[in-house]
Amino acid sequence: MAPRRPRAAGAIPKLVERAASHPAEPGELYAALDLGTNSCRMLIARPKGDQFQVVDSFSKAVQLGQGLEASGRLSRSSMARTVQALQICRRKIETHGVKRMRLVATEACRRAGNARDFIRYVRRETGLPLEIIPPEEEARLAVISCASLVNPRSEQVLVVDIGGGSTELVWIDISKVPPPDRPRSIMRLSGGFDQPEGEIPQARVVDWISVPLGVATLKDQFGDVEDDAARFALMSWFFEEKLADFTPYASGTPQEGFQVIGTSGTVTTVAACHLNLKRYDRNRVDGLTMTSTEIDAVIRSFLMLGPEGRRADPRIGRDRHTLIMSGAAILQALMRVWPTDKMSVADRGLREGLLYAQMAEDGVIEEMKPIEGEMK
């Protein structure tokens, strides 16, 4: 389990506007690329008030970490698939004339013995400046992307980012911050998680952790278990064991003012299935609140479908059907051990955090406005 070392955080607007894909004026666009264990995803956007407007995007399941668990290295085939995807990203960046970008790789590259060779290979074949970021920065960016979903009535917040190769959790105490200022207080963590005490009450990062288990790596751990239900149960309990030193309360009773915000393809897929969406709708998913009972009902429906049923279910999708149960196992374990019976759904993550961090650094985006209303 990775050591816990605080780093910087920030915030992201609640609404991320999207525009049709078309070349825009050079000099005003930013790019953010997230190369994970399973997927390669990129956004190109321009700042717009306290929001940003996405003008182009890319997402592909490249399975960079395939075979990593057994060999400790990135395979030639997975690297070749990934470079093909990155070539598409490079062309999009060139088409839009993007000058400001940050392109990062996470857990698969952190763990692979040949990661540095892969980074050089990417640079040689695509010219893209891909960098490997540490777990603490990945956690920071997860907080940045979800900050605007923090409800003013929340006193304790847990931000959870379920990735392909790792899961980041950041626990924040905002109980001393006046309620109207709580979402904005998390933005003030932009100078670092370990902020000095001042006269004005501020958000405090109590703890954070990066568990080296995500949807792909957890699935690989139990690939030899044939029974579908047994494999799911083993994955869930195995992940829960990794949280033994990161559970703040002895009581499992749901507590008022505790908010969990989940960001990942797993969380948004479960939310879309709960809403029974025939076509995915980000506006309905992002910011949705789901209860533990609703989450469990969706997971039970996945188990009832079985592997073949999940493969054929259009709500889950071709790229996710083999990974949804490992993600669901992580999600169920989290809801089992934390003192809440609700989760806020965030359709946002590392790319959005990277975009906002760049824009905030350049001073081209306004400070996020707090959310109005009460907790659902």
Q: Let me know: does 262 contact 346? Beta carbons within 8 Å.
A: yes
- Close Cβ partners of 5 (under 8 Å, ≥ 6 residues apart): 136
* pLDDT reported for residue 17: 46
pLDDT digits (tens, 9 = 90+) for 223-274: 899 999 999 999 999 999 998 878 665 455 557 788 999 999 999 999 999 9
Q: Let me know: does 263 contact 346? Beta carbons within 8 Å.
A: yes
Pairing type for strands 39-48 and 30-35 reads antiparallel
* pLDDT reported for residue 204: 86
Tokens read off for 245: 């030193």
- Close Cβ partners of 212 (under 8 Å, ≥ 6 residues apart): 1, 2, 107, 111, 165, 166
pLDDT digits (tens, 9 = 90+) for 140-167: 888 888 888 988 889 989 999 999 999 9
Residue 227 CA to residue 216 CA, distance in Å, equals: 18
Q: Indicate the pTM of the whole model.
A: 0.84
Of the chain, the end-to-end C-alpha distance in Å amounts to 34
Angle at the Cα of 147 from the Cα atoms of 145 and 152, rounded to 5 degrees: 160
For the chain, where are the alpha helices, taking DSSP H only? 68-71, 76-96, 107-111, 115-126, 135-146, 182-187, 215-221, 228-241, 265-274, 282-285, 292-312, 324-337, 350-362
* pLDDT reported for residue 4: 42
* pLDDT reported for residue 146: 85
Query: Which residues share a beta bridge with 18?
Result: 54
Residue ranges of domains in the chain, CATH in brackets: 17-134 (3.30.420.40), 137-350 (3.30.420.150)
Q: Let me know: does 89 contact 63? Beta carbons within 8 Å.
A: no
CB atoms closer than 10 angstroms to residue 243: 19
- Residue ranges in the chain modelled with pLDDT below 50: 1-22, 24, 26, 250, 370-376
